[in-house]
Amino acid sequence: MQQPFLAEETKVATLSGILGRTASRWTNQKFRGPVALRDAEPVGRPGAGSDVEVATYESDALFVVDGVALCVEVKAGSVTAKSRSGNAQRLATDLQKTLRDGNEQANRLSRLIHANGGVHNADGTVLDLSEVMEIHSIIVMLDP
C-alpha cells in the first residue's frame, strides 16, 4: 500500500484521537467502483457480468465506529492570495472547488458502501461493511 502524505497522516491521527483512539479501517486505500455514481448498485464484483464501466479510486481514510462509517478526504488545495486579500468572489470559487472535489470523492465511497454493504479493494479483496448503518463524509482542508 502507498504511504499516505504527511498531511493526510496527521489529520487521520487527529480524527482517531477525537474518536477515542479508534483506528481507521484504512488510510490512503485504493478501491474499485463505477465511473458513473448512478451505477453504484449492488452488482457483486464491480463490472462482473455487467456493462458498468469501473475505475480505481483513492480514499484518504475510512473510520467505522458503532455502525457509523466516516469517509474522510483531506484536501491540500490552498486558498489563493486573492482570496486572502478579501476577494469574496475568489474565496467562494476556491472553497467551492476544494470542497466540491473532496465531497465527490467521499460521496463515491459513501454510495458504494450504502449500495453494496462493502467496498471492492483494488487488489480484488472485499472489505465487508455490512455492520454500517449510517454513513457520513468529512472533508478536511489544510488552510487555517
DSSP H or E run through 96: helix 88-116
Q: Considering the entire predicted model, what is its pTM?
A: 0.78
Residue among 82, 58, 77, 46 at smallest CA distance from 3: 58
pLDDT single digits (tens) 121-136: 999 888 999 999 999 9
pLDDT > 60? residue 47: no
pLDDT > 90? residue 18: no
Query: How many helices, marked H, and strands, marked E, lie in the chain?
Result: 3, 6
Predicted local confidence at residue 132, as pLDDT? 94
* Cell 454510495, located at residue: 111
Kindly tell me the burial class for residue 106, based on how many C-beta atoms sit within 10 Å of its own C-beta (0-12, 13-18, 19 or more): buried
pLDDT > 50? residue 3: no
Secondary-structure percent of the chain, ordered helix, strand, coil, rounded to 5: 35, 30, 35
Cell of 58: 483513492
Distance of alpha carbon 9 from alpha carbon 27, whole angstroms: 8
pLDDT single digits (tens) 58-108: 999 999 999 999 999 988 777 788 888 888 898 888 888 888 888 888 998
Distance of alpha carbon 78 from alpha carbon 89, whole angstroms: 15
